[in-house]
Amino acid sequence: MLAQPAQLPRHLVESAILNALAEDLGQAGDLTSQAVLSPDAWAVASLSAREVGIIAGLDLVAAAFRLVGDGVSFEPQITDGHRVEAGGVVALVSGPARLVMSAERVALNFVNHLSGIATLTRRYADEVAGTHAKICDTRKTTPGLRAFEKYAVRCGGGANHRFALNDAILIKDNHIAVAGSVTAAYKAAEAFAGHLVSIEIEVQTLAELEEALAAGARIVLLDNMDNDLLRQAVAINAGRAKLEASGGVQLDRVRSIAETGVDFISTSQITMGSKPLDLGLDVTIGGVE
């Protein structure tokens, strides 16, 4: 379903997990495990789904069990971007019980959050299946987790909008107001941008769209337009620019937007409106003193 599976850079994964372990273990570590579990106790666990969904973030789970200490094995049974059924086993874990218990919450907090995003993205993507439109995300992401959340969007079959303020230009109404016109803003952006920096311009009206196209725009964001306007925009555009619909996108309306013929539909819902997918760790501890 993925063109090619994407990959999270390893250093991002490791630093995120080290920070999260520090957050959850503090200066004294898992007091309960130290109090109740012998250092020799052994845990065998399965990470399983309590509900159907799309998995994202197994590299983070692996890193949590690898970095918490020595001796925990982790065997994924599925790869990111694939569907798990309710009751399905996502991964097997075994190792010293204290370590398994210490990393459990960190692992789950990541994978449940990211799989929730992947799952909701897939629902949006499924809604528009068969149309020309792709679902994409926004910069409305959780601070510190953008790389992971955008990766989860890809796992769910969505596409990524720009990652940050520095990797593409997006001219909004404020910028246009300052520049004086759509044309002036677009020309200023062209003059500034390197040749690999994409420029997108947001328009509020069909007149602005026409001005943007005349100025040479190749990517246009149609801001908060209803479906009628979107259809007219598509007609005016006549294939010249890529068109992105944005604003007020909800799951029950997204197909009708897609059917207007736009190329992209962006929504913060897939990152900000998702619920964690309910995955849990079923643990059996033995070999105790």
- Nearest CB to a second copy, comparing residues 190 and 210: 190
Among the residue ranges 3-11, 81-89, 120-128, 209-217, the one whose residues contact a second copy (CB under 8 A): 3-11
174 vs 180: CA distance, rounded Å: 10
Q: What are phi and psi of 82, to 5 degrees?
A: -105, 160
Find the Cα–Cα–Cα–Cα dihedral 110, 22, 144, 279, rounded to 10°. Answer: 10
Tell me whether residue 136 or residue 212 sits nearer to a second copy (CB atom): 136
How many residues contact a second copy, by CB under 8 A? 104
Q: Of 1-9, 47-55, 124-132, 204-212, which segment contacts a second copy by CB under 8 A?
A: 1-9
CB 57, CB 109: distance < 8 Å: no
Residue with tokens 């910028």: 175
Nearer to a second copy, 224 or 228 (CB): 224
Q: Which is nearer to a second copy, 54 or 111 (CB)?
A: 111
Which residues, other chains included, contact 59 with Cβ-Cβ below 8 Å and sequence gap of 6+? 8, 10, 13, 80
51 binds a second copy (CB under 8 A): no
Residue nearer to a second copy on the CB measure, 166 or 228: 166
CA 276, CA 54: separation in Å to the nearest integer? 11
Q: Which of 73, 181, 198, 250 forms a contact with a second copy (CB under 8 A)? A: 198
24 to 43, contacts with a second copy by CB under 8 A? 24-39, 41
Decide whether 54 or 281 has the Cβ nearer to a second copy: 281
Contact 129, 95 (CB under 8 A): no
DSSP 159: B
146 in contact with a second copy (CB under 8 A): yes
CB 97 to a second copy: min, Å:
7
Site for a second copy in 76-95 (CB under 8 A): none
> Site residues for a second copy, window 215-274 (CB under 8 A)?
219, 242, 244, 263-264, 272-273
Q: How far is the CB of 237 from a second copy (least distance, A)?
A: 14
When binding is defined by CB under 8 A, the residue of 89, 147, 229, 251 that contacts a second copy is 147
d(CA 253, CA 248): 9
- As measured in angstroms, the least distance from the Cβ of 205 to a second copy is 19
- Which residues fall within 8 angstroms of residue 7, CB to CB, at 6 or more apart? none
The answer to whether 75 contacts a second copy (rule: CB under 8 A) is no
Q: Write the CB contacts of 170 (distance below 8 Å, at least 6 apart in sequence).
A: 162, 200, 201, 202, 221
Q: Rounded to whole angstroms, how far apart are CA atoms 205 and 222?
A: 8
- Which member of 49, 84, 94, 175 binds a second copy (CB under 8 A)? 175
Q: Which stretch binds a second copy (CB under 8 A): 84-92, 138-146, 225-233, 245-253?
A: 138-146
User: Is 96:118 a contact under the CB 8 Å cutoff?
Assistant: no
Query: Active-site positions?
Result: 105, 140, 172, 202, 223
